[in-house]
A and B are shown apart, each in its own frame.
Chain A
């Protein structure tokens, strides 16, 4: 039997495999190509994010109740059907995009005050009330109500993920838009026009 073990040094020859070819690599490549094409198609078909308007489970639903103490020390409560468009803005005084947005919001409020078709409501988010008051009243000169939301209940009810976050609420009290980037007065006018066109 030793003479059987002896030729162990000889190199291993090719196994007698059947001559059928399987083209495995080709099929794998085709599979990868199909997946990549599908992914590209899905991404191409999704709407582009010009104004970072994002999906929110609240859109189309009645806005969660907006009430509570304001930074001015008064109590504020928005009616369920406010009768005009409400721009609900979550902000922090230290947040630079919020500061850039602030003047636009003041302009928006000024433009719509006389017509009475839209109004601002702000909510302090991730900030102290004192800092928010200093910024909102003294620096910005905002005259609309700003809620303190001390326990974060409003932020929770609206699913706020960061600042600034803006919701547009229709006169009948339903949420019609959710924006997670700084807005301009023109953006808001455009959103209101679209909501009106859709029959709000």
Chain B
């Protein structure tokens, strides 16, 4: 039956396609960082000593070795394919979790697709057949019906009558609910009432003893006349259920014209294009590492903020170890998070100075330089880097340059008070007058 809601599912389909296309990240033009590439590759590499885990999810020794190898290969400038074949050459092709799309493994990729296409085709054929039988005219329907009725017993005829009556009732309800157009409803009603009329005649014939299994030529001739009467759509049918079926209504509703279909298709295509454009315009403006699907990315960003706040609280409670662990956690997920870089760099510097660890201090310095590079207007990184330059290198001029940027970034008053002694020291050593912004003792 042709329903009026027809274009609705097309719109829903269009929305689904747009969501899938945008969500798949094909419009994501930002190239992945080395860490993102490593994470993506590691998710696709099986942990050699595990049953069903990627190296990204495992802390087994073998996974640690493979992860280190992946990162080293990336640093050496290898492509993803080269890295995968490097690992396959050592561990075998099963190390790659996605089976290769070649040889026998190709079946794994092709079979589900082929199955899906086959299922859709079969369904389409089946629905088309149902549609065709449903839309045959009343005369044709009656003829088919009577072919089936020939030789039926009285009980079978009764069953069929109940079915037709139910079908009429259903069509009436659908029409009332607006699911069935006037024309379709009339066509259905004409068809089913014609069938019922034919059934009645058949039952009468059976009751009068003239019917039976081999009805003979006479029986068939009667039935054909009955079919003709039904086809005329006239009085007999209208008399039977007391309703008026307007004459001259074409049984199957004419199909949409070519122009209408073109317009509809073009409209849907334009809608899809517009949606893709709008969503991708909004979707590209995001941080590196964030995905297009807003909710997940948002919650991840919120999680990072929460972790940073927890770490800052721990730092204030004089628990540098725990705080460092949390900052490291943030950096594991977002290697370019400048807040975590600056704070962890500062913690490492303090711990490194206490423990006279040159490697830790060097690591801290690298983190602070990176933090300042990533966020030149962030006051914390500037203060920390200036302090390191002054205390470690005795580089007062370099420190003053950092502290100028620190002051320009508008630090909070309490931090300024806290930092005042080291600022004054740097400015004095460099022979530069201390700015009035710096509070006196």
Interface residues of A (CB under 8 A from B): 1, 3-8, 10-16, 55-58, 125-126, 151-152, 155-162
Contacts and interface: CB of A to CB of B under 8 A. Distances in A.
Nearest to A158: B90
B92 A13 contact: no
Most buried by B among A13, A57, A155: A13
Given A4-B169, A57-B91, A162 B69 contact: no
A152 to B, nearest CB: 4
B97 to A, nearest CB: 15
A187 B193 CA distance: 86
A55 B88 CA distance: 12
Contacts of A126: 61-62
Given A4-B169, A125-B61, A14 B163 contact: yes
Contacts of B173: 5, 8
B162 interface: yes
B68 A160 contact: no
29 contacts: A1-B172, A3-B242, A4-B168, A4-B241, A6-B169, A7-B162, A8-B166, A8-B169, A10-B166, A12-B162, A12-B166, A13-B158, A13-B160, A13-B161, A13-B164, A13-B166, A16-B144, A55-B92, A57-B90, A125-B61, A151-B68, A152-B61, A152-B68, A156-B69, A156-B90, A159-B92, A160-B48, A161-B48, A162-B62
B302 interface: no
Contact of B169 (A7, A15, A152, A159): A7
B88 A57 contact: yes
A58 B92 CA distance: 9
Contacts of B168: 4
A179 B61 CA distance: 19
A7 B172 CA distance: 12
A7 to B, nearest CB: 4
A58 B90 contact: yes
Given A125-B61, A162-B49, A7 B165 contact: yes
A15 B170 CA distance: 14
Q: Which 9 A-B pairs have the closest CB atoms?
A: A13-B163, A159-B90, A152-B65, A13-B159, A159-B91, A126-B61, A161-B48, A8-B169, A7-B165
How many chain B residues sit at the interface, stated as a range, is: 35 or more
A160 B170 CA distance: 69
B89 interface: yes
A57 B148 contact: no
Contacts of B92: 55-57, 159
Contacts of B161: 13
Interface in B54-88: 61-62, 64-66, 68-69, 88
A159 B69 CA distance: 12
A7 B148 CA distance: 23
A6 B162 CA distance: 12
Nearest to B149: A16
A1 B378 CA distance: 78
B243 interface: yes
B145 interface: yes
Nearest to B95: A159
Contacts of B69: 156
Interface in B6-51: 48-49
Most buried by B among A151, A156, A160: A156
A3 B243 CA distance: 9
Contacts of B95: 159
Most buried by A among B49, B91, B159: B91
Contacts of A1: 172, 241, 243
B91 A161 contact: yes
Contacts of A57: 88-93
Interface string B198-217: 00000000000000000000
Nearest to A11: B162
A10 B89 CA distance: 71
B301 to A, nearest CB: 35
A7 B162 CA distance: 8
B65 A3 contact: no
Contact of B49 (A13, A14, A152, A161): A161
